[in-house]
Structure 1
Amino acid sequence: MNVSDAVKARRSIRGFKPDPVPPELLEKIFDQARFAPSNCNTQPCHTVVVSGQARKDLQAAIFAEMSAGKAPSSAFTPGDQNLTGVYKDRQYQCAMDYYGTMGIARHEKDKRFALMMKNWEFFDAPHVAFISMPTSMGPVNAVDVGIYLQTLMLILVEHGLASCPQGALAFYPDEVFKIANIPEGNGIICGLSFGYEDIGTQINQVIMDRAPLSDLVQFVD
């Protein structure tokens, strides 16, 4: 598989088989991803991969927090805040495509809420990665995180695996910090649920469009 094929093949997958990825393959994937470039080679990303019983316990702990009424607490500004204009329009269309594929109407708030809660079920993926960086860093350093994340997702595709990057997994960080040796001063910027795609499930039929090239790129001679 070449890079162009991997880019086109990668989608946000939200339906997974329960089969875990073999430990040796997990280590190989994350070893390959660490070669992603970063500004001045600062390598600001720290990743925690949670699997097995720890993953089940973490899901239960986060649900307990939410059931107790704990408010979301992100170290960084969530990506869906402060959107206006075409960016807000694209966010709205994304939601409509997602709910529409699942056959959920706008007025069906209970079903919409249940679908949203799947974020903290990690979409039933057997593995979830939490990616953090120092809270003292800013948007330029977050670019490095994005480069690493894309590198990781493409390597997952190369190995026949699927993933879903989730900003929502930064909302309840306390339980993650309890189980993981995340560096002091770091904040979780996003999560990534991943595993083997459960091909044919309804939730994996969601296809997001992209804006035309002319809207995104300008060529100047």
Structure 2
Amino acid sequence: MTPETELEQLLAARYSCRAFRPDPVPDQLVDRLFATAQRTPSWCNTQPWQVHLLGGEATARFAKELGEHVVAHEQVADLGLPAYEGIHADRRREAGYGLYSALGIAREDRAARSDQMARNFSFFGAPHCAVVTTGRDLGTYGAVDCGGYVNTLMLGAQALGLGVIAQGAVAMYSDFVRGWLDLPEDRLVVCAVSFGYADENDPVNAFRTTRADLGDVLHRLDG
């Protein structure tokens, strides 16, 4: 067997960081990260992503006001709310229980689970938060292209020694995000990506999710 490629190593090491140090990432490194992500391929080279990058006091203000909004309002998602059924519900449940177990939170401790969920809206303490949007008129393919962009961004962060997490939870309140960022109506909120330096002493960053077996997802047609 050949040695692992750099991509394989990055994918094996990558995880969703849920605890960050407060130290900001230097501008030069941030620029390098987003320049890398800009190489993402897209349908007909449309490059539908627009990114609003928050840092410093802007991150803190956004987190505070988003958190207040979440407590008092229902979810409104530009791309619709997901429905988890069957194997998808099972995987989601496994990931949730695994996360809470890593933090020592009992299944019946709803208050602690709610507090952990609320950390999504303070970006888990990350000093930087990037909100990714797509063009409304590009439909599903614009969102798919943005997913590719987010993946490149996360792997780029991993390659630069940064912690990173993609956050669909932020997009569940697209109406608030649109108003806060003064986005035009033709932009759809896809997700947020929070990043910085991982707090490696926090037990939450020892948690890892599982992956389905290849035979469960790969369907070969050779004849």
TM over 0.5: yes
- Describe the superposition over 1:59-91 as per-residue Cα deviations: whole angstroms up to 9, x where unpaired: 111122234x1222111123xx22221111111
C-alpha distance in 2 between matches for 1:138 and 1:88: 26
> How far, CA to CA, are the matches of 2:106 and 2:190 in structure 1?
31
Asked whether 1:5 is paired with 2:6, we answer no
Q: Matched residues in 2 for 1:211 and 1:43: separation?
A: 30
The match for 1:71 among 64, 69, 74 is: 74
> Aligned equivalents of 2:158 and 2:187: distance in 1?
28
Structure 1 match to 2:138: 137
Whether the aligned pair in 1 keeps the contact of 2:79 and 2:188 (CA below 8 Å) is: yes
Aligned to 1:103, what secondary structure does the other structure show? Answer: coil
User: Which amino acid is the alignment partner of residue 152 of structure 1?
Assistant: L
Matched, 1:147 2:151: no
**Counterpart AA for 1:71:** E
The whole-number CA distance in structure 2 between the counterparts of 1:213 and 1:138 is: 30
Cα distance in structure 2, aligned partners of 1:181 and 1:37: 28
Q: Deviations over 1:10-50 (max 9, x none)?
A: 11110111110001111111012111000011111111110
TM alignment of 1:70-219, pairs within 5 A:
70-78=73-81, 81-178=82-179, 180=181, 182-219=183-220
Comparing 165-174 with 115-124, greater Cα deviation is found at 165-174
For structure 2, the 5+ residue unaligned runs are none
Q: Is the 8 A contact 2:178 2:184 kept in 1?
A: no
Are the equivalent residues in 1 in contact too, given 2:135–2:142 (CA < 8 A)?
no
Query: Cα gap change, 1:54/1:139 in structure 2, threshold over 3 Å: closer, same or farther?
Result: same
When the two structures are aligned, how many residues end up with a matched partner? Answer: 218
Deviation at 1:176, TM superposition (A): 3.6
| Counterparts of 2:158 and 2:197, CA distance in 1 | 10
What CA distance in whole angstroms lies between the structure 1 residues aligned with 2:95 and 2:180?
33
**Taking structure 1 as the reference length, what is the TM-score of the superposition?**
0.92
Find the counterpart in structure 2 of residue 54 from structure 1.
58
> How far has the Cα of 1:179 moved from its partner?
5.0
CA distance in 2: counterparts of 1:116 and 1:48, whole angstroms: 23
How far apart, in 2, do the equivalents of 1:175 and 1:84 lie? 28
